[in-house]
A and B are shown apart, each in its own frame.
Chain A
Amino acid sequence: LAKTTQPISMDSYEGQEVNITCSHNNIATNDYITWYQQFPSQGPRFIIQGYKTKVTNEVASLFIPADRKSSTLSLPRVSLSDTAVYYCLVGDPSGSARQLTFGSGTQLTVLP
């Protein structure tokens, strides 16, 4: 199972771009990288997923270097409502959720 390492917490201000990096040194060939957002007392919500290079959707971008040993979630112009815990998961989507182990996550706090 690919273990992930993220910063425990980050602070930012409204309107800034936030980059959260996740390390996954033992990522396997079939593994994808997926990021989830969780607000207090709610289930996690899918943000973005990628395999390599760069992926962008309406809420975030995901940058993955060629060696895939890390990935960076980029949130453009954050607002107060982006305060949440962000989890990076690495696993083979065709396998089982048992492979999609949640790490400690990163508590992002957006300040006014």
Chain B
Amino acid sequence: GAVVSQHPSRVICKSGTSVKIECRSLDFQATTMFWYRQFPKKSLMLMATSNEGSKATYEQGVEKDKFLINHASLTLSTLTVTSAHPEDSSFYICSSIQGLANEKLFFGSGTQLSVL
């Protein structure tokens, strides 16, 4: 299946700093990537849809100025958590959709963000 590479796998930062998470599609071109957030023992929540060459679409309740998404190429999307605070601590996961009819989601390995 398609491979989506996500880095870093884990990051610990001080409150007020910004953190960038990268998501790369290794063997296919991803015009669309998706960013999820997952709290412990909870399900995945879609945060935003990242479109190559255009602005991301954010889900209701997700602050676009807080979670900056850039999708400058067909293989790379980045999520920057700006001025991170402890409540931003979470597991962030990216994914891309692929298949003959775009029917399958392929996920990155996730990034555990801990803000002190």
* CB neighbours of A100 from chain B (8 A): 105
- Interface check B61, CB cutoff 8 A: no
With A and B bound together, what is the CA distance between A44 and B45 in angstroms?
13
With A and B bound together, what is the CA distance between A105 and B38 in angstroms?
13
Contact mask B46-75 → A, CB, 8 Å, 1/0? Answer: 100100000000010000000000000000
Contacting pair A96 B108 (CB below 8 A): no
Partner of B112, one of A41, A87, A94: A41
* CB neighbours of B44 from chain A (8 A): 44, 87, 102
User: Which segment of B11-19, B77-85, B92-100 sits at the interface?
Assistant: B92-100
In this complex, how many residues of chain B approach chain A with their Cβ under 8 Å: the count is 29
A residues at B contact (CB < 8 Å): 32, 34, 36, 41-46, 49, 87, 89, 93-94, 96-98, 100-105
Jot down 15 A-B pairs with beta carbons below 8 A, ordered by A: A43-B107, A43-B110, A44-B93, A44-B105, A46-B104, A46-B105, A93-B97, A93-B104, A97-B32, A97-B49, A97-B97, A97-B105, A98-B49, A100-B105, A102-B44
B residues at A contact (CB < 8 Å): 1, 4, 6, 32, 34, 36, 43-46, 49, 59, 91, 93-95, 97, 99, 101-110, 112
